[in-house]
Structure 1
Amino acid sequence: MEAQEFKARIFTPASFYKHLKIFVASFSDFRKARKNGNVSKAFSEKIMLAVTEVNGCRYCNYVHTKNAIDAGTSEDEIKMLLNGELGELDNDESVALMFAQHYADTEGNPDKETYSAFVEHYGEQKAADILAMIKVIMVANIHGISLDAFVSRFKNQKMKGSKLGNELGIALGVLVLLPAAIIKVWFEKTFKNNTNENQNKLKTPII
C-alpha cells in the first residue's frame, strides 16, 4: 500500500529552540495577558487559529477550532480563518490576525513597519498581550507538527519533506531543549540585570 502524505511547514530543532527561548522569555507576559482581559477568549482562539493556518499543525487546528466554537466564534468565521481569509472579519481583530499570520510566515521576524503599525493600532499593552499569545502558539505548532509527523510514520502517512531526525529532535528533544531554554534565558536576564546595576553604580556621583 502506497504511503499517503500530508503537508505542513518544516521546522528544525534549531528553529524550535529559538522559539522556545522566545516563549520562555515572554511567559510572564502570557500569564498577564490571560488575566488582564485585554484579549477575550474568543479573540485569543482566533489568534491561535490564524497562526495555525500558516504553519499547518493538525493537532492545534482541532484543539483551537473546538475552543473557538466553545467561546462563541461562528462556523463562518472559523472557515475564513482556516482559509486565511481575514478581509471579512471584524476590522479591529483582523489587524491582529493578519499580524499573527505575518509573524508565523516570517518565523518570528516581522517587518519593522508592520510591527510598528500593529503596536500603534492596539497600544503597547494590548499589542504585547496579543504578541505573547502568538509566541505561545508558534511553539505549540512546531512541537505538534513534529509529533504528528513522527506518529504518522507508523500509520503509513508521511509528512511531505519531513525528516525523521528533525521529528525526533523536536517531538522528543523538547525534554532537553525546554530546560536548556529556561536556563539560557535565566542567565541572559541575570547578566543583563547585573550589567545594568553596574552601569547605574558608575553613573551615581560620589558625594
Structure 2
Amino acid sequence: MTLVEKDNIKKLEPEFGKKLYSVPESYWIFYNGIRTMGYMLRAKKSKNMSQKFIERIMLAVTEVNGCAICSYAHTKRALESGMSTEEIQKMLSGIMDDVPAGEIPAVMFAQHYADTRGNPTLESWQRIVEIYGISTARGILGATRMIMIGNTYGIPWSSFFNRLRGRPDPRSSISYELSMMLGTILTPIAFIHALISNLFRKPIINF
C-alpha cells in the first residue's frame, strides 16, 4: 500500500463511535455472527457475493455504528478489492450514490439491521429473501453480523486508545471500555452456544 493510500485511510476514520453496546448485547451479537458466518463464506465462494459487495455491506454497518478501528481496516480491504477512495468516503458518510443498483437493497438492510441493534423487521428480511433468494440473503445477513461483531468490540477498543492519546470519547467511560474488554471472556461460551444452536437447526433469525 502506498503512502498516499495510507493517508487516505487516515482521513476516512470517524472521530468516535456512534453506538455503544452493552456486555449482554455483545454476547448475542457474537453468537449471531458465528451462527451465520458460514453463509457469508459460502455466498462468496459460490460468487453470489463479491468481495466488493461484502465490503460495501461492512462499510455501511460501520458508518451506522461509527467504529474507527473497523473503518480503518475495512477501508483498507475495500481499496484492495478495487473500490475507489471516493466511493468509500461517500459510504462512510452515509451516501450510496456509487453503490450498484443491485446491491442497494442489501446495503440498506445492513444499515437497518445496525440501526435496530440487530433486530430488523420481518418485512425487511422477507424483502431481502425475495430480491436475492435465500442463499444470498443468508450471506448478506452473515456479512452484516460479522461486521457487527467487529464494531461492537472495536468501538470500546478505539475509545480506550483514544483516551490514552488524550482524546476520550465523550459518550464513553474507562469503566465501560474495560468492562467490554473483559466481556470478551464470554466469547468462547457464545461460540459453543452458536455451534449447538446450529446443530439443532434453530432459526438463524427471530422477529
TM-score, normalised via structure 2 length:
0.83
The residue that corresponds to 1:180 in the other structure is: 189
Q: Distance in 2 between matches of 1:171 and 1:101?
A: 25
**Pairing 1:60–2:67 present:** no
SS in 1 for 2:168: strand
The answer to whether the Cα contact below 8 Å between 2:58 and 2:144 also exists between their aligned partners in 1 is yes
- Where does 1:64-83 land on structure 2 (aligned, <5 Å)? 64-83=74-93
The answer to whether the Cα contact below 8 Å between 1:86 and 1:98 also exists between their aligned partners in 2 is no
Q: Distance in 2 between matches of 1:94 and 1:187?
A: 34
The answer to whether the Cα contact below 8 Å between 1:152 and 1:158 also exists between their aligned partners in 2 is yes
**Pairing 1:122–2:137 present:** no
- Where does 1:150-169 land on structure 2 (aligned, <5 Å)? 150-169=160-179
Could you tell me the percent identity over the aligned residues? Answer: 37
The residue that corresponds to 2:96 in the other structure is: 86
* Amino acid of the structure 1 residue aligned with 2:42: K
The answer to whether the Cα contact below 8 Å between 1:47 and 1:134 also exists between their aligned partners in 2 is yes
SS in 2 for 1:173: helix
Q: CA deviation at 1:131?
A: 1.0
* Amino acid of the structure 2 residue aligned with 1:44: I
The Cα RMSD (Å) is 2.0
Which range moved further: 137-146 or 8-17?
8-17
Which range moved further: 33-42 or 116-125?
33-42
The residue that corresponds to 1:135 in the other structure is: 145
* Amino acid of the structure 2 residue aligned with 1:154: L
The answer to whether the Cα contact below 8 Å between 2:39 and 2:135 also exists between their aligned partners in 1 is no
* Amino acid of the structure 1 residue aligned with 2:41: R
TM-score, normalised via structure 1 length:
0.83
The residue that corresponds to 1:20 in the other structure is: 30
Q: CA deviation at 1:8?
A: 2.6
Q: CA deviation at 1:187?
A: 4.2
The answer to whether the Cα contact below 8 Å between 1:11 and 1:166 also exists between their aligned partners in 2 is no
Q: Distance in 2 between matches of 1:37 and 1:78?
A: 22
The answer to whether the Cα contact below 8 Å between 1:65 and 1:78 also exists between their aligned partners in 2 is yes
Q: State the structure with more CA Rg.
A: 1
The answer to whether the Cα contact below 8 Å between 2:36 and 2:141 also exists between their aligned partners in 1 is no
Distance 1:6 1:186, change over 3 A: closer
SS in 2 for 1:158: coil
The residue that corresponds to 1:198 in the other structure is: none
Q: Distance in 2 between matches of 1:157 and 1:126?
A: 41
The answer to whether the Cα contact below 8 Å between 2:105 and 2:128 also exists between their aligned partners in 1 is yes
Deviations 1:55-82 (CA, angstroms, capped at 9, x unpaired): 0001111111121111111223212211
Deviations 1:151-179 (CA, angstroms, capped at 9, x unpaired): 222211111211323312222421x1111
The answer to whether the Cα contact below 8 Å between 1:33 and 1:132 also exists between their aligned partners in 2 is no
